[in-house]
A and B are shown apart, each in its own frame.
Chain A
Amino acid sequence: MEQRKTIRYTAGHASLRKQLLLFWVFFAIGSFTIGGGYAMVLMMKRYLVERYHWLTDEEFYDMLAISQVTPGPIAVNMATFVGYTQGGIPGSALGTLGVSIPAIVVIIVIAVSFPGFRDNVWVQRFFAGVIVGVVAQITTVVLDLAKRQKWTIVSGFVCAVSLAILFFVRQVSPIWLILAGGIVGVIVEACRRRDREQSTGEA
């Protein structure tokens, strides 16, 4: 809660310097998003939460969840949201461009000049190495999220069931898991509220 106070939403009136910073941070993040959506979670957390305080921890993880139920790549969603809260519409456009430009440029360069790119052994080895690093980085986020989780019987159960479905059922879109988890959260809150009302009613 303490951290929330330090975050200021400057939507609409951010300085040019801040707009450029938004572009640059997301450009850097986009340049290193290798291996799909979650590959960047640690870097995004490091920069957006810990370094620049553009998001709280809680908002960051909320945003990860919201990205699952809205269309589009997580990095783009994050860039649009943070860009808007920090720099208004220009900020969100700059953040989104920043995160997208590396992807576009790299592919055009490869398409134009390296037709044999994928078959190059050195390229394959280098990127296998990068994936090794990416796996380590996501694991640190897993540990962090597990630590800050308010573990209850219900949340443990939800986590275990989600894992079982992901590993054994496969063809399930994450969106259904996310929605089911959210509904469980609402039911828990409703039960808690009823209990509270009952106990105050008796007293």
Chain B
Amino acid sequence: MISLLNLFGVFFRIGVFTFGGGQAMIPLLERDLVAHLRWVSMTEFLDFVAISEITPGPVAINMATFVGYKLRGLPGALITSLGVIMPSFIIILFIAIAAHTFRTNRWVSAFLDGLQPVVLALLVYAVFSIGRAGIPAWWGYVASAGILLLILKYGKRLNLFLTLLAAGGLGLLIFR
């Protein structure tokens, strides 16, 4: 049986080396858990990824919980989730303690200004990749454009959580 400490260690290490958001973690998890340690099979792994992508919460935490639960039940699920969260928690906490605000001097400020266009590009790419992976038919994009117009028109008066639930309801009706 795999020890809890071992589980924690593996997920902590994955947490340390995942830059660029939770999605970036998937290839790393695959290499470690499927190819290297052989804790889960490839089919199971793909199943976990598919479910993690459509369930609430950061994908990295979903994945960790899945694998932990599969290997060691509830304690395993909690340990792996903790392991994957700890690195980013500690690092961001240090940043926050060191500087309450980012723009501490003009060079840092220039650096942050310089990467704003890159963030814009990343967001544009995210729209395309999420749409391509998750929207099964062209009328989904039409519906998406409609929701976009609603958000732009009604702005803050529109409850975003309800909008997502309504979009889900719409999905039940329009997707076959």
- Say whether A associates with B: yes
Give the interface SS of chain B, mostly helix, strand, loop or mixed.
Answer: helix
**What CA separation (Å) do A155 and B140 show in the bound complex?**
32
Interface residue ranges of A31-56 to B (CB < 8 Å): 31-39, 41-43, 46, 50
- The docked-state distance in angstroms from the alpha carbon of A177 to that of B20 is 10
**Is A28 a contact of B57 with CB atoms below 8 Å?**
no
Which residue of A has the minimal Cβ distance to B80? Answer: A104
Interface residues of A (CB under 8 A from B): 9, 11, 28, 30-39, 41-43, 46, 50, 58-59, 61-77, 80-81, 84-85, 89, 92-93, 96, 99-100, 102-104, 106-108, 110-111, 117-118, 122-143, 145-146, 149-150, 155-156, 158-159, 162-163, 166-167, 173-175, 177-190
CA gap between A126 and B140 in the complex, in Å: 12
Which residues of chain A are within 8 angstroms of B42 by Cβ–Cβ distance?
A: none
Cβ-defined partner of B112 (8 Å) among A65, A158, A167 = A65
Q: Which residue of B lies closest to A193 (CB)?
A: B106
Question: In the complex, are the beta carbons of A35 and B161 less than 8 A apart?
Answer: no
Question: Is A141 in contact with B123, judged by CB distance below 8 angstroms?
Answer: yes
Asked if B36 is at the interface of the complex by the 8 Å CB criterion, the answer is no
Q: In the assembled complex, which residues on chain A have CB atoms less than 8 Å from the CB atom of B120?
A: 142, 145-146, 149, 159
Q: Which of A93, A99, A145, A189 contacts B119 (CB 8 A)?
A: A145
| Inter-chain contacts of B15 with A (CB < 8 A) | 71-72
- Enumerate chain B residues within 8 angstroms of A162, measured Cβ to Cβ: 117-118, 121-122
How far apart sit A143 and B137, CA to CA, in the bound complex (Å)?
24
Chain A residue with the shortest CB-CB distance to B57? A103
Q: For A189, list chain B residues within 8 Å (CB).
A: 106-107, 110, 113
User: Counting CB contacts under 8 A, is B70 at the interface?
Assistant: yes
Knowing A84-B93, A102-B56, say if A155 contacts B171 (CB, 8 Å). Answer: no
Given the known inter-chain contacts A126-B172, A159-B121, A185-B112, please indicate yes or no for A133 contacting B59, CB distance below 8 A: no
Q: A59-B102, A80-B89 are in contact. Are A34 and B170 (CB under 8 A)?
A: no
A104 near B115: Cβ-Cβ < 8 Å = no
